[in-house]
């Protein structure tokens, strides 16, 4: 009996030792997006990459349909859940919280702190919530908090860096352990290539179809003294500048007329061509504004210059005007038809030359087509919207027309900006002209310094 008892004890000890050596169950960690915007989603990528590769977690991203479409090929995101409208990272109701609870996450990261959102997540019995420190979260046993509003070191961090700080806190251990050291070092060494949006073949083909037409047009242009078909002579000389004039949610920008002036001036400069990306929600309005400003339609508009490969990118129709950007054309543009004839007659030779070097990239509702186009771009000029953040994500050079606050909170990889001290509605004509002049000066400086590369 004694031997039997001893054997039983050995078996028990052996079982305990085996249990102790078993690897811990992989955590399932959810991250609730900062909002509906493209930039909101892109700024979560480093945090999710860190959770997947440095904590070994199963990663679920809670956002909207646009993010789900955009992240469809990201291998470090296990699942994207469409919550519908999450403006400002705000959960609408208990039904939304229940959708999150159905994923049975061990931890849910709440990027934007809203008392109602925390209350709804607690009601839905979320196991652990990582969020900012406030009274209502500090004294909840379900919440693991970070003092982003109380400590100065968080004051000037970008939204991306704050999400990384939240994700870092999702490990099982406490204090500065080995897992957190690996997380810190790994995230610090990430480059745009690690987190770049992954494209489908159809996206690459869509962008290439447009690009091939631009190349053919530029090669035959007399402005550059290139004989038709002399491709080698044109290569290495021409810079492609993407100018995004669309913006809906950010009050800091310049007017549509101001952007058309900027486009005209860049396209009139030697060695530059301009690409303007449009999409369904803004395309028709922009084409009308373009024709009113220049007196003619942009090159290829009559012959469907951009109508290629549309069937190759079969995606659901999605309204991008609230996520990417939307036309700011309207009363501030002063593009009334009464001045159309006089404006057309007053076009200078420089303006006529500029028209030869402006191309419209008419996208579908698939944002990955725009991401594919960024491979052909020397520089993206844009307000703080989804377009410039897609460019940054794809490793393209960027020049942002940003407010001082946005240059910190929504920083691009390049961190190169023209700072707008006032919102659009407060800008005078002279102040807007100064911004345009600064942008042109910075563009020429970047070219002279070799900060941008020719693409043709």
Of 169, 195, 221, the last residue of a domain is 195
3-state helix, strand, coil in the chain (%, to 5): 45, 15, 40
Gap between the Cα atoms of 115 and 133, Å rounded: 11
Is 455 among the domain residues? no
CB 438 within 8 A of CB 418: yes
Domain identity same for 344 and 436? yes
β pairing state of 129-132 and 58-63: unpaired
> What distance in Å separates the CA atoms of residue 384 and residue 177, rounded to the nearest whole number?
37
Specify whether 221 is located in the same domain as 288.
Answer: yes
Q: What is the mean pLDDT of the chain?
A: 83
Which residue, 65, 361, 318, is CA-closest to 203?
A: 361
Q: Is the per-residue pLDDT at 19 higher than 90?
A: no
Q: What is the mean pLDDT of residues 64-73?
A: 95
What 8-state DSSP symbol labels residue 357?
Answer: T
Alpha-carbon dihedral angle through residues 106, 110, 114, 117, given to the nearest 10 degrees: -40
Average pLDDT value for residue range 7-29: 53
Q: What is the pLDDT of residue 54?
A: 95
Residues 230 and 175 in one domain: no
Dihedral sign computed on CA atoms, order 72, 206, 396, 407: negative
Measured CA to CA, the distance from residue 321 to residue 387 in angstroms comes to 12
Q: Which residues have C-beta within 8 Å of that of residue 411, sequence separation ≥ 6?
A: 158, 160
Helices and strands in the chain: count of H runs, count of E runs: 20, 12
Residue 454 lies in a domain: no
Q: Percent of the chain at pLDDT above 70?
A: 79
Q: Are both 262 and 124 inside the same structural domain?
A: no
Looking at the structure, do residues 346 and 373 belong to the same domain, yes or no? yes
Q: Between the ranges 1-10, 38-47, 153-162, where is the mean pLDDT highest?
A: 38-47
Domain-located, residue 16: no
Claim to verify: residue 127 and residue 234 sit in the same structural domain: no
pLDDT value at 234 more than 70? no
- What CA–CA distance (Å, rounded) separates 282 from 15? 66
pLDDT at residue number 161: 94
**pLDDT at position 237:** 84
Sign of CA dihedral 71, 77, 83, 85: negative
Lowest mean pLDDT among 44-58, 61-75, 157-171, 210-224: 210-224
Least confident of 159-168, 295-304, 408-417: 295-304
Residue 23 has pLDDT above 70, yes or no: no
Determine the Cα–Cα distance for residues 351 and 354; give it in Å rounded to an integer: 5
Extract the tokens encoding 137: 């979260």
Please tell me the distance from the alpha carbon of residue 104 to that of residue 326, in angstroms, as a whole number.
36
59 neighbors 48 (Cβ within 8 angstroms): yes
Cβ-contact 402, 418 below 8 angstroms: yes
Residue 175 has pLDDT above 80, yes or no: no
Residue 389 included in any domain: yes
For residue 18, is it within any domain? no
Q: Based on the domain organization, do 187 and 216 belong to the same domain? A: no
**42-56, 131-145, 332-346: which has the highest mean pLDDT?**
42-56
Residue 349 is predicted with a pLDDT of 52
Average pLDDT over residues 169-194: 88
Q: What is the pLDDT of residue 236?
A: 54
Which of 175, 195, 215 is the last residue before a domain boundary? 195
- Are 309 and 423 part of one and the same domain? yes
Do 435 and 383 lie in a common domain? yes
Residue 130 in tokens: 């990582």
Q: Residues, the chain, total?
A: 456
Across the range 420-441, mean pLDDT stands at 98
Residue 456 resides in a domain: no
Q: What percent of the chain has pLDDT over 90?
A: 62
Residue 301 has a pLDDT of: 53
Same domain for 301 and 377?
A: yes
Give me the CATH number covering residue 134: 3.40.50.2000
Q: What pLDDT is attached to residue 375?
A: 95
Does the pLDDT value for residue 115 go beyond 70? yes
- Quick one: pLDDT at residue 309? 42
- pLDDT for res 136: 74
In whole angstroms, give the CA distance from residue 406 to residue 160: 12
Enclosing domain of residue 264 = 201-449
DSSP conformational letter for 1: -
- Same domain membership, residue 188 and residue 106: yes
Q: Residue 444 above 80 pLDDT?
A: yes
What is the count of structural domains for the chain? 2
Residue 178, phi then psi, degrees to nearest 5: -65, -40
| 296 in the same domain as 155 | no
pLDDT of residue 448: 95
Q: Which of 195, 215, 242 is the last residue of a domain?
A: 195
Domain membership of residue 334 (yes or no) is yes
* Beta-sheet strand order (sheet of 417-419): 358-362, 272-278, 239-243, 379-383, 398-402, 417-419
User: How distant, in Å, are the alpha carbons of 111, 129, 354 from that of 121?
Assistant: 13, 8, 55
Closest CA to 359 of 398, 426, 303: 303
Within a domain: residue 309? Answer: yes
* Tens digit of each residue's pLDDT (9 = 90 or more) over 361-403: 999 999 999 999 999 999 999 999 999 999 999 999 999 999 9
pLDDT at 100 over 60: yes
Mean pLDDT of 403-410: 95
Summarised one tens digit per residue, pLDDT across range 144-155 is 888 887 777 787
Dist CA 397 CA 413 (whole Å): 8
């Amino acid at each position: 009996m004694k031997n039997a008892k001893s054997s039983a004890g050995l078996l028990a000890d052996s079982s305990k030792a085996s249990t102790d050596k078993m690897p811990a169950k992989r955590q399932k960690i959810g991250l609730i997006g900062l909002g509906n915007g493209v930039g909101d989603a892109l700024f979560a990528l480093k945090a999710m990459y860190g959770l997947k590769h440095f904590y070994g977690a199963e990663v679920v991203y809670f956002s909207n349909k646009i993010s789900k479409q955009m992240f469809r090929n990201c291998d470090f995101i296990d699942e994207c859940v469409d919550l519908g409208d999450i403006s400002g990272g705000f959960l609408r109701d208990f039904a939304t919280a229940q959708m999150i609870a159905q994923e049975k996450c061990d931890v849910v990261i709440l990027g934007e702190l809203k008392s109602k959102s925390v209350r709804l997540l607690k009601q839905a019995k979320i196991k652990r919530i990582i969020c900012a420190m406030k009274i209502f979260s500090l004294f909840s046993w379900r919440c693991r908090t970070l003092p982003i509003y109380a400590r100065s070191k968080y004051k000037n961090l970008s939204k991306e860096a704050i999400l990384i700080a939240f994700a870092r806190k999702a490990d099982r251990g406490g204090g500065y352990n080995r897992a957190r050291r690996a997380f810190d070092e790994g995230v610090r060494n990430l480059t745009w290539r690690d987190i770049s949006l992954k494209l489908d073949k159809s996206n690459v083909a869509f962008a290439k179809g447009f690009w091939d037409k631009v190349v053919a047009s530029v090669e035959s242009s007399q402005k550059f003294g290139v004989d038709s078909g002399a491709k080698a002579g044109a290569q290495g000389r021409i810079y492609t500048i993407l100018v995004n004039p669309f913006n809906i949610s950010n009050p800091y920008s310049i007017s549509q007329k101001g952007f058309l002036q900027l486009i005209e001036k860049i396209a009139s400069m030697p060695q530059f061509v301009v690409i303007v990306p449009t999409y369904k929600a803004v395309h028709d309005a922009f084409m009308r504004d373009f024709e009113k400003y220049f007196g003619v339609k942009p090159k290829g508009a009559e012959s469907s210059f951009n109508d290629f490969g549309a069937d190759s990118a079969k995606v659901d129709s999605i309204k991008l005007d609230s996520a990417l950007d939307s036309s700011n054309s309207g009363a501030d543009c002063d593009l009334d038809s009464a001045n159309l004839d006089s404006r057309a007659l007053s076009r200078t030779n420089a303006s006529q030359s500029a028209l030869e070097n402006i191309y419209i990239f008419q996208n579908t509702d698939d944002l990955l087509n725009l991401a594919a186009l960024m491979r052909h771009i020397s520089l993206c000029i844009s307000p703080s919207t989804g377009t410039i953040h897609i460019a940054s994500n794809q490793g393209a050079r960027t020049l942002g027309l940003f407010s001082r606050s946005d240059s910190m909170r929504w920083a691009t990889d390049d961190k190169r900006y023209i700072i707008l001290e006032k919102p659009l509605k407060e800008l005078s004509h002279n102040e807007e002209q100064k911004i345009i002049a600064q942008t042109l000066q910075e563009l020429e400086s970047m070219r002279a310094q070799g900060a941008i590369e020719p693409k043709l």
